[in-house]
Amino acid sequence: MPRILKKVYYISLIIGLLVQTVSAQVKINSETKEKSDLKKIYKIEIDNYQKVQLFRTDYDQYYGFLINKVWKQKRHKRTNDSIIQKIKIPNKEVKELMINLEKNGFESLIDCYKIKDCISGLDGTTITFSFQESDKRNVASNWELNSDYYYKQNKVEVPGEVLKARKIYKIINDKYDLENVFSTFLNRLPKGEYSYGMLIMTKK
């Protein structure tokens, strides 16, 4: 390669690397800034397939998402490929919801394992509520939250803290009908085999 062309090639290469580095740095700085701007985060997760995320920023702005997710199956095995639906929740609704949830004790929910007579199991559906604000964090999970069946089987009263978690879930579900939203998402999937939670489904 002639010396001039070689010089031009190296200059172009260096410029390309610098552009990539600057672009990557801008992206990192943007993501870091977005995270640092968050004052409060509420998350409600239904197993690994549905999630409600609510955010409040330091500037008293609100935003949130309702997320549905399934994994593609291949030869009856889960792959790393997934299909995700991300629905933006109107900012005004997020604010109203976060205020209502806070009033009803979202930030002080207690994990099932710390509650006397709270029943948990390996199969079924687990609902997790998480809260984060500065250095404060709280995570509370409940197995088969809305079912009385296992409490009746074991002849124990449903603990007050579980009833409190049910009320929190009801506030959210009354607003968005989570089961119906997820069912609609499943119905719109293309043909194939999918999994979510502990279930496998075939869409024909």
Domain ranges of the chain: 1-36, 37-203
Q: Look at residue 12 in the predicted model and tell me its pLDDT.
A: 52
Residue-wise pLDDT for 163-189, tens only, equals 999 999 999 999 999 999 999 999 999
How many percent of the chain have pLDDT more than 90? 73
| pTM for the predicted model, two decimal places | 0.80
Read off the tokens for 30: 């943007």
Q: Look at residue 2 in the predicted model and tell me its pLDDT.
A: 52
Q: How far apart are CA 121 and CA 174, in angstroms?
A: 26
Categorize the per-residue pLDDT at 5 as very low, low, confident or very high, splitting at 50, 70 and 90: very low
CATH for the 37-203 domain, from 1.10.730, 1.10.3470, 3.30.70, 3.30.1560 = 3.30.1560
Q: With 0-12 CB in 10 A as exposed, 13-18 as middle and 19+ as buried, what is 142? A: buried
Cβ atoms < 10 Å from Cβ of 74: 11
Residue 190 DSSP class: P
Categorize the per-residue pLDDT at 108 as very low, low, confident or very high, splitting at 50, 70 and 90: very high
Residue 6 clears pLDDT 80, i.e. is over it: no
Residue-wise pLDDT for 34-83, tens only, equals 455 899 999 999 999 999 999 999 999 999 999 999 999 988 788 889 99
Q: How far apart are CA 29 and CA 34, in angstroms?
A: 8
Phi, psi at residue 149, to the nearest 5°?
A: -55, -50
Q: Is-contact 121 65, C-beta < 8 A? A: no
